[in-house]
């Protein structure tokens, strides 16, 4: 199933927004059975991959043929080559990649746009982000210590130092937390993470206080209205037991 990441990029830094809009309107008018739809598949792929990616979901619904192109490998391989021409020379995710090139496109996008990594595109970071996000969106979420340790082990196995693995894992946790949907499920997840006990594990497996701070910060700012009075004071007491002083933005319910 095609999952589009909402984003937009420019080609060579000088994209003509009007021409993109005109092209998109032509594609929508064409509906897959006009002059554009009759083009050879490799030319169609060239056209489609030049559109901003936030238009791809709608474009893939134009016809069954176009939808099948988005489910295939060739379109995504072309998009990767266009957006990240040197991606083929970078270190790849060890082992099979779920959902092929579409998944790889998402990982590269995440690395470039969602997780701070010193201006570098790190495909391993992108895949780890996607893995963690999927785990946190499950109905039965594994303990955060298990998830954190798995991520640390993965980075160390790929040649990162313990210190670098801990830094990357912390950045990924924060990026995932910041990009979760604001709904009841996320509120319950953050409450669960805040209430988990401290795990006294050796570095780099120790729990990141930077991540825990972000959990509480999101609870007390974005989800404050979701608390009942008793739950709020219990969560605030937990925050005060870990951080002193707590910011004024966390206070008041």
- HEC string of 103-134 equals HHHHHHHHHHHCCCCCCCCCHHHHHHHHHHHH
Asked if 59 and 85 sit in the same domain, the reply is: no
Q: What are phi and psi of 180, to 5 degrees?
A: -75, 150
- Whether residue 146 lies inside any domain: the answer is yes
Q: Are 126 and 110 in contact (CB under 8 A)?
A: yes
What was the pLDDT predicted at 34? 60
Total residues found in the chain within this entry: 253
What was the pLDDT predicted at 2? 37
What was the pLDDT predicted at 96? 60
- Whether residue 6 lies inside any domain: the answer is no
Asked if 162 and 180 sit in the same domain, the reply is: yes
Asked if 37 and 160 sit in the same domain, the reply is: no
- Whether residue 154 lies inside any domain: the answer is yes
Nearest to 216 by CA among 227, 206, 228, 229: 227
Look at residues 30, 54, 71 and tell me which one is the last residue of a structural domain: 71
Asked if 213 and 121 sit in the same domain, the reply is: yes
Look at residues 71, 94, 109 and tell me which one is the last residue of a structural domain: 71
pLDDT tens for the chain, 253 residues: list them: 333 333 333 344 444 444 445 555 555 555 555 666 677 888 888 888 888 888 888 888 888 888 888 899 999 999 999 999 888 766 666 666 667 899 999 999 999 999 987 778 888 999 999 999 999 999 899 999 999 999 999 999 989 999 999 999 999 999 999 999 999 999 999 999 999 866 667 888 888 889 999 999 999 999 999 998 899 999 999 999 999 899 999 998 6
Q: What pTM value is reported for the model?
A: 0.81
What was the pLDDT predicted at 120? 82
How far is residue 239's CA from residue 245's CA, in Å, rounded to a whole number?
10
What was the pLDDT predicted at 43? 87
What was the pLDDT predicted at 49? 87
Q: Which domain holds residue 202?
A: 72-250
- Whether residue 4 lies inside any domain: the answer is no
Per-position b or e across 143-172, b if 16+ CB within 10 A of its CB: ebbebbbebbebbeeeebeeeebbbbbbbb
Asked if 44 and 86 sit in the same domain, the reply is: no
Q: Which residue bears the tokens 């082990």?
A: 153
Asked if 191 and 241 sit in the same domain, the reply is: yes
- Whether residue 7 lies inside any domain: the answer is no
- Whether residue 11 lies inside any domain: the answer is no
Asked if 127 and 184 sit in the same domain, the reply is: yes
Domain count, the chain: 2
- Whether residue 144 lies inside any domain: the answer is yes
What was the pLDDT predicted at 248? 94
Asked if 134 and 160 sit in the same domain, the reply is: yes
Asked if 67 and 106 sit in the same domain, the reply is: no
What was the pLDDT predicted at 136? 96
236's tokens: 């605030």
Asked if 27 and 142 sit in the same domain, the reply is: no
Look at residues 24, 44, 71 and tell me which one is the last residue of a structural domain: 71
Asked if 208 and 91 sit in the same domain, the reply is: yes
What was the pLDDT predicted at 33? 59
CA angle 42–43–49, rounded 5-degree value: 90
- Whether residue 8 lies inside any domain: the answer is no
What was the pLDDT predicted at 4? 38
Residue 49 vs residues 112, 164, 251: alpha-carbon distances, Å: 18, 35, 48
What was the pLDDT predicted at 227? 94
What was the pLDDT predicted at 9? 38
Asked if 111 and 191 sit in the same domain, the reply is: yes
What was the pLDDT predicted at 203? 85
């Amino acid at each position: 199933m095609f999952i589009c990441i909402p984003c937009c990029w420019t080609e060579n830094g000088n994209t003509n927004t009007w021409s993109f809009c005109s092209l998109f309107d032509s594609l929508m008018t064409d509906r897959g059975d006009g002059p554009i739809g009759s083009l050879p598949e490799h030319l169609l792929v060239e056209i489609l991959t030049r559109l901003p990616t936030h238009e791809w979901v709608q474009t893939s619904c134009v016809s069954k043929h176009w939808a099948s192109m988005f489910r295939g490998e060739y379109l995504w391989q072309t998009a990767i080559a266009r957006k990240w021409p040197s991606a083929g020379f970078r270190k790849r995710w060890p082992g099979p990649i779920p959902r092929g090139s579409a998944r790889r496109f998402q990982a590269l996008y995440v690395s470039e746009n969602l997780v701070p990594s010193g201006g570098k595109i790190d495909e391993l970071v992108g895949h780890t982000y996607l893995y963690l996000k999927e785990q946190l969106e499950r109905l039965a979420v594994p303990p955060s210590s298990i998830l954190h340790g798995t991520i640390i082990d993965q980075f160390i196995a790929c040649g990162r130092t313990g210190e670098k693995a801990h830094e990357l894992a912390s950045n990924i946790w924060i990026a995932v937390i910041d990009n979760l949907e604001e709904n009841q499920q996320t509120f319950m997840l953050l409450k669960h993470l805040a209430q988990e006990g401290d795990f006294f594990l050796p570095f780099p497996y120790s729990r990141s206080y930077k991540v825990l701070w972000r959990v509480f910060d999101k609870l007390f700012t974005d989800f404050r209205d979701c608390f009942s009075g008793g739950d709020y004071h219990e969560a605030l007491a937990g925050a005060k037991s870990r951080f002193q002083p707590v910011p004024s933005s966390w206070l008041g319910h």
